[in-house]
Amino acid sequence: MSEAVIETRGLGHTYKGGHTALDGVDLALGKGLFGLLGPNGAGKSTLMRIICTLLPPSRGTATVFGHDVTSECREVRALLGYLPQEFGAWRQHRVEEVLDTLARLSGLSDKKHRHERVAETLELVGLDSVADRKVKKLSGGMVRRLGVAQALVHEPPVLVVDEPTVGLDPEERMRFRQMMGRLGRDRTILLSTHIVANLGGGCQAMALLDRGEVVFEGPPDDLLRRAVGHVFEIEVSAEAADRVEAEYEVVSRNATPQGVAMRGVTASGLPEGAAAVESPTLEEAYLAFMASRGRSEAARQEEDAPS
Ligand SMILES: Nc1ncnc2c1ncn2[C@@H]1O[C@H](COP(=O)(O)OP(=O)(O)OP(=O)(O)O)[C@@H](O)[C@H]1O
Ligand SMILES: [Mg+2]
């Protein structure tokens, strides 16, 4: 019997029209916060919708606590809370009202118990002080937190959260990251993002999806170790800086009294005069990994651009 909370085997999905968004995905998730990284179009939302029983897979299987997402979707739904990428409706309603309605849909039929859970959940996500406010008067971060609240209200052991931080300011992003770390202590959370820094320290396991395939799975530390030797720092004159930027993927660029200090990633050798960074950030490690696959940021953007 497998220990995994969520498990996929040979999971694949081809949309009508023939585009294969997922291809042979094998993943196993235990307790805690699991980060799903990947560029735009990698297949993250497709994978999440399949796990949440909203999209039937074309091939392979996915299970939640051993229940199959296709043949046992009722059991799976009871175990899951889902925050979709585009959560944000209900603008004319008050926060508490929205949560109460969604709690009823999630099966909390007993009124007294439901009211208690609504109050507890609003407090948990820090929205208790705005319970009477209309959704349209909330900040972007508050709307995302309301999204988390509706996913949590029936106390599911598994939370699936898709790109939670799009459009949030840095402070709200940090708050969100901390909340996910906290919630991941006694649950399984599958969280997708393409902003690597959003995973934060609470994330112990991750996978990297690229064009529908898992290209890395393991602890963030493994990705960091692989990046050593492929992340560099260099200080050069302003003109030389432009040359470095044209040739390498530069992650940061700061003016100094002498010129420009830059950090970047490279799939092969370091630029002349550069020093290897010994402790890269997770974002740098991610970019270095993608570069080693011939997938620079520029190449990915070109691929995304409408032809
Ligand atoms: N309903 C659909 N019909 C056809 N193709 C789709 C559909 N939804 C997604 N796709 C395609 O499948 C691929 C994977 O999409 P998906 O939304 O799963 O990626 P993602 O990793 O979530 O991307 P993002 O970071 O932009 O949210 C993309 O190429 C996308 O264009
Ligand atoms: Mg998506």
Classify residue 1: in a domain, yes or no: no
* pLDDT score, position 80: 93
Strand arrangement, sheet containing 59-64 = 20-29, 6-14, 59-64, 67-68
Same domain? 275 vs 292: yes
The residue among 183, 218, 253 that closes a domain is 218
Domain count, the chain: 2
Same domain? 91 vs 126: yes
Question: Is the shortest distance between the CB of 46 and ligand 1 below 6 Å?
Answer: yes
Same domain? 88 vs 32: yes
Q: Are 220 and 280 in contact (CB under 8 A)?
A: no
Smallest Cα–Cα separation from 267: which of 298, 209, 227? 227
Same domain? 41 vs 168: yes
Choose the residue to mutate in 45, 82, 85 for probing ligand 1, maximizing ligand atoms within 8 Å of C-beta: 45
Classify residue 248: in a domain, yes or no: yes
| Burial classification of residue 239, based on how many CB atoms lie within 10 Å of its CB (0-12 exposed, 13-18 middle, 19 or more buried) | exposed
Domain span including residue 60: 6-218
Same domain? 210 vs 121: yes
Same domain? 101 vs 171: yes
Answer yes or no: is pLDDT of 306 > 70.
Answer: no
Distance from Cα 303 to the centre of ligand 1, integer Å: 13
Q: Which atom of ligand 1 is nearest to the CA of 49?
A: 18
Same domain? 257 vs 284: yes
CA dihedral of 96, 101, 107, 113, whole degrees rounded to 10: 40
1 vs 140, higher pLDDT: 140
For the chain, the 3-state helix, strand and coil shares in percent, each to the nearest 5, are 40, 30, 35
Strand arrangement, sheet containing 203-210 = 80-83, 158-162, 188-193, 32-37, 203-210, 213-218
Beta bridge partners of 205: 34
CA 117-118-120 angle, to 5 degrees, is: 60
pLDDT tens digit sequence for 167-190: 778 888 888 888 888 888 989 999
Classify residue 296: in a domain, yes or no: yes
Q: Which atom of ligand 1 is nearest to the CA of 163?
A: 27
Question: Is the shortest distance between the CB of 193 and ligand 1 below 6 Å?
Answer: no
Answer yes or no: is pLDDT of 256 > 90.
Answer: yes
Answer yes or no: is pLDDT of 300 > 70.
Answer: no
The CATH number of whichever domain residue 203 belongs to comes to 3.40.50.300
Q: Which atom of ligand 1 is nearest to the CA of 38?
A: 21
